[in-house]
Structure 1
Amino acid sequence: MTSGDFWTHLPTKLVGAGALLTDDAGRFLVVEPTYKPEWEIPGGVVEAGESPRTGVRRELREELGLAIDVTDLLVIDWSPPPPGQPGRPDGLMLVFDAGVLPADEAAHITLPADELRSHRWCTDAEAATLLAPRLARRMTAARKARAAGTLLYLEEGR
């Protein structure tokens, strides 16, 4: 096997990077995609050759129309392939701290109409009714990690 062949035979993992972005009341931002029923957090798939922090910054610009400073990594969450989606790899879902967005800046959120229908600020309890269960658990963990100044490792949001 040549060195080039070695790399092509290694397993692949999906890497996603999202943001914990809160308002002055401590609620966090969720977005409603046009392409699926569950709500999401701002963020998305990290592109090839892109760092996760750069990826989440790019997604925040593309999804919200805002240049937001992204600081600490709060959560690493291993996610197995979802049932009913053959060929989709397992992944590492990362949540970064995007800080508190003041109301005057939040007023400038601009969503891409072809990708996101709406956005809202919510508590953990409200998010549990909108987000997929593992994402709701991941975001509760991200809020705890931010408060404790630590990084948490999860598997399926646990």
Structure 2
Amino acid sequence: MPGLRRLLRDDQGRVLVVHPVYKDEWDIPGGIVEAGESPVSALLRELQEELGIAPPVGQLACVDWVPPAPPWDAGLMFVFNTGVLTDSRIAALRLQPEELDEYVFAPPADLDKLLPPGLARRMNAAVLAADAGQTAYLEDGLIRLLP
């Protein structure tokens, strides 16, 4: 199943990073696409469940092919850019306590310290692509130039 993440930023360009209760590492809002569900529908569902908000989907910032890492098969990760969250949207964030216990807005330069390496590479590439108004194709978080 494909996975998806949402590039949510504040007016200072910082990226929303969440802490799941079921693991030690920080993460980016999103989840897994369920059977019969489109990536956009899954993203809207996950954000409503996890954060209590439904911001506009926005442009696709990147697609990342992730190699297999047992027990997981290879997969595709989609990162959608929503642009800037307004102060009122940030104030409306409501973490689902069964899934998330904390969130921060982190400068892109700090993502390498907070996120697992592959996710940090993916999100840094998504920030660059979003800022350029483009969509990046990645393999394991690394930008691949297509012929």
TM-score range, shorter chain: over 0.9
**Aligned 8 A contact 1:70 1:99 in 2:** no
Aligned partners of 2:124 and 2:64: how far apart in 1?
A: 12
2:47 paired with 1:63: no
Give distance in 2, aligned partners of 1:140 and 1:40. Answer: 13
1:108 aligns with 2:95: no
Q: Distance in 2 between matches of 1:15 and 1:106?
A: 27
Structure 2, unaligned runs of 5 or more: 143-147
CA separation in 2, counterparts of 1:96 and 1:145? 11
Match of 1:72 among 59, 79, 104: 59
| TM-score, with structure 1 as normaliser | 0.86
Bigger-Rg structure (1/2):
1
Name the SS of the counterpart of 1:106 in structure 2.
helix
**Shift, 1:34, TM fit:** 0.9
Following superposition, the deviation at residue 104 of structure 1 comes to 2.1
TM-score (norm 2): 0.92
Q: Is 1:36 paired with 2:20?
A: no
The one of 114, 127, 133 equivalent to 2:117 is: 133
Query: Matched residues, percent identical?
Result: 50
Task: Tell me, in whole angstroms, the C-alpha distance in 1 between the residues paired with 2:39 and 2:89.
Answer: 24
RMSD: 1.0
**Cα distance between partner residues in 2 of 1:123 and 1:137:** 14
Size of the aligned set, in residue pairs, is 142
- Residue from 25, 40, 50 that aligns with 2:12: 25
Verify: 1:91 aligned to 2:75, yes or no: yes
How far apart are the structure 1 equivalents of 2:105 and 2:14?
A: 5
Amino acid paired to 1:78: W
The whole-number CA distance in structure 1 between the counterparts of 2:121 and 2:112 is: 8
| Structure 1 residues not aligned, in runs of 5+ | 1-13
